Amino acid sequence: MRRRAMREEAEAVDVATLLPPIRDADDAISEAFLAAVEAGLAEGPSDELRARLRDLHEADMGDLLEALPAEARVRLVETLGADFDFTALTELDETDRVGLLSHLPPLMVAEGIRTLESDDAVYILEDLDADDKAAILAHIPAPERVALQRSLDYPEESAGRRMQTDFIAVPPFWTVGRVLDYVQQTDDLPETFYEVFVVDPAYHLMGAVPLDRLLRTKRSVLVTAVKTERVQVVKASEDQEEVARTFERYNLVSAPVVDDAGRLVGVMTIDDVVDVIQEEADEDLRALAGVGSDEELSDTVAYTAKSRLPWLVVNLGTAFLAASIIDLFAVSIEKMVALAVLMPIVASMGGNAGNQTMTVAVRALATRDLGSHNARRIVLREVLVGLANGLALACLLGLIAALWFGNWQLGGVIACALVINMLAAGLFGILIPLTVHYFRQDPAVASGVFVTTVTDTVGFFAFLGLASLWFHLG
């Protein structure tokens, strides 16, 4: 009886009166809040829970949806109805977003999408399959639909897909006062904006006036007199990675987007770019490890396994190449089995050193810090670093190997082999990404396998070859 009462009390605390905090100490959605939401969805949510869910920031709602099982996500959106802010969907993994949307009535999705800023609407629509997309677009009135369709016609990952199509553009003969009045009196302005654009009658961009400058200028001044002319402009067809680099380099908060004819068609803002910067750095990291750039935590076992397999098959090929080098010296190994014991050390040290150099090179190429003006110096530096660390480690490795096998000559041979392989690691660790980049390929994707191939084959060949010569094992 006592237990029953306590449990009821605990439940009352959970669901009705005092909702647990949404995030735990680790900054993830808390188990307690998750349980409260699931209970609320099962029994019909209390007013307090409903109010709490309605007021959640889109980012928290997104994380909450991710943490819920797939069926509960659908129920949550349906329960909240018009109170559900579709912006939260932009925070979901692609798989989860597409899955959730396919279980919601197209009319409801269409209504939710109409409340969004145009870039978010496009982001949500772009990954859907053609039928779902058409069903939803059919419920959106013509002018809005045409605008969305136009953005969707730009290539994937282009500025045209990421831009906001709502912006404020004024003619050059307006005064600052008139612009301020216009902003104050017009209703359907973009939700947030940081600058007002000045355009000619054909919508060609003439300049931009940041809001803070607008505020600091006398009302009687013409906008054309205070506009910045050297505006960093983004082309709608430009790749988002290119756009991110421009934002980063010039510390932009927003930038006008123009079409091929130079007409203003939208604006890109920093919040979209932050995601791109994050994605691009992630892509490099994944590519270096041989993981597909579109892999997500929500992917299934089958999808994940299939996407990682090709890289492993390539590595199997290079591993066989290394094995065939070893096979050349099978007779030597039979005569002196210590060679088999020690040979992976030389290869692995070279692999690690090559990986260090390559990682630095790949990122420096991605951020354009490494280019023709400093390539020669960096190549030389990496070779000398390889040589320096090679000499230091060779002393250590040679000493340990000599003591282990009681054979000073073996220690000398492995030390020499290590220096050779560390030199090769430094040289090819930088030359390979530079070469891949020169041929306009992504060095993050293709360099790793080449560098490992070099350090494995050079490592085995140098050690086994030197040993065979020195000890006359051949």
Span 85-124, contacts to its own copies by CB under 8 A: none
Q: Least distance from C-beta 62 to its own copies, angstroms?
A: 9
**Which residues are within 8 A (CB) of 191 and not within 5 positions of it... i.e. 6 or more apart?**
117, 166
DSSP string, 61-92: HHHHHHHS-HHHHHHHHHHHGGG--GGGGGGS
Least CB distance to its own copies at residue 387 (A): 9
Quote the least distance from Cβ 94 to its own copies, whole Å: 13
What part of residues 136-155 is at the interface with its own copies (CB under 8 A)?
none
Closest separation in Å from C-beta 388 to its own copies: 4
Question: What is the rounded CA–CA span in Å between residue 146 and residue 52?
Answer: 36
Q: Decide if residue 35 touches its own copies (CB under 8 A).
A: no
Residue 441 CB, nearest approach to its own copies (Å) = 14
Angle between helix 31-43 and 47-55 (nearest 10)? 120
Binding flag, residue 344, its own copies (CB under 8 A):
yes
Stretch that binds its own copies, among 106-114, 122-130, 199-207, 241-249 (CB under 8 A): 241-249
Contact 2, 14 (CB under 8 A): no
Write b or e for each residue in 123-133: b if 16 or more Cβ atoms lie within 10 A of its Cβ, otherwise e. Answer: bbbbebeeebb
399 binds its own copies (CB under 8 A): no
* Minimum gap (Å) between residue 292 Cβ and its own copies: 10
Please report whether residue 56 would count as binding its own copies according to CB under 8 A. Answer: no
From candidates 15, 22, 34, 163, binder to its own copies by CB under 8 A = 34
Residue from the set 38, 66, 239, 442 that interacts with its own copies by CB under 8 A: 66
Q: Smallest distance from the beta carbon of 242 to its own copies, in angstroms? A: 9
- Verify binding: residue 320, its own copies, rule CB under 8 A: yes
Query: With binding defined as CB under 8 A, does residue 70 bind its own copies?
Result: no
Which residues lie across from 205 on neighbouring strands? 199
Q: What is the distance, to the nearest Å, from the Cα of residue 281 to the centroid of all Cα atoms in its chain?
A: 5
Single-letter amino acid, residue 132: D
Residue 186: both structure tokens together: 């017009």
Three-class secondary structure of residue 441 per DSSP: coil
Which residue from 16, 32, 169, 319 is in contact with its own copies, where contact means CB under 8 A?
Answer: 319
Interface with its own copies in residues 375-394 (CB under 8 A)? 378, 381, 384-385, 388-389, 392-393
* Euclidean distance between CA atoms 416 and 218, whole angstroms: 76
Nearest CB to its own copies, comparing residues 9 and 212:
212
CA distance 136 to 374: 52
- State in angstroms the smallest separation of the CB of 463 from its own copies: 12
Residue 132 vs 248, nearer CB to its own copies? 248
Structure tokens at 433: 């990404």
CB closer to its own copies out of 135 and 466: 466
Judged by CB under 8 A, the chain residues 440 through 459 that form the site for its own copies are 452, 456
What is the Cα–Cα distance from 34 to 216, expressed in whole angstroms? 48
**Cα distance between residue 16 and residue 47, in whole Å:** 8
Question: Among the candidate windows 12-20, 45-53, 97-105, 351-359, which touches its own copies by CB under 8 A?
Answer: 351-359
Nearest-angstrom CA–CA distance, 198 and 171: 6
Near its own copies by CB under 8 A: residue from 32, 263, 286, 442: 286
How many residues are given for the chain? Answer: 474
The CA distance from 97 to 90, in Å, is: 8
Stretch that binds its own copies, among 73-81, 127-135, 159-167, 315-323 (CB under 8 A): 315-323
472: left (phi over 0), alpha (psi -120 to 50) or beta: left
Does 353 interact with its own copies (rule: CB under 8 A)?
yes
Beta strands 264-269 and 254-258 are antiparallel
Which of 13, 400, 466, 473 lies at the binding interface for its own copies (CB under 8 A)? 400
| Residue of 438, 358, 426 lying closest to 387 (CA atoms) | 426
Tokens of 77: 């959106």
Cα separation, 27 vs 38, in Å, equals 20
Nearer to its own copies, 160 or 283 (CB): 283
Q: Which stretch binds its own copies (CB under 8 A): 77-85, 127-135, 150-158, 180-188?
A: 180-188
Q: Do the bridges between strand 195-199 and strand 169-170 make them parallel or antiparallel, or are there none, so unpaired?
A: parallel
Number of residues that bind its own copies (CB under 8 A): 113
Residue with smaller CB distance to its own copies, 82 or 274? 274
Q: Does 289 bind its own copies (CB under 8 A)?
A: yes
Instruction: Establish if 81 lies at the interface with its own copies (CB under 8 A).
Output: no
Q: Does 235 bind its own copies (CB under 8 A)?
A: no
Q: Which of 22, 137, 370, 402 binds its own copies (CB under 8 A)?
A: 370
Tell me: does residue 16 bind its own copies (CB under 8 A): no
Q: How far is CA 140 from CA 107, 115, 145, 194, 228, in A?
A: 9, 11, 6, 28, 37
**CA–CA gap between residue 275 and residue 152 (Å, rounded):** 19
CB of 333 to its own copies, least distance (A): 5
Looking at the Cβ atoms of 158 and 332, the one nearer to its own copies is 332
Q: Binding to its own copies by residue 308, rule CB under 8 A?
A: yes
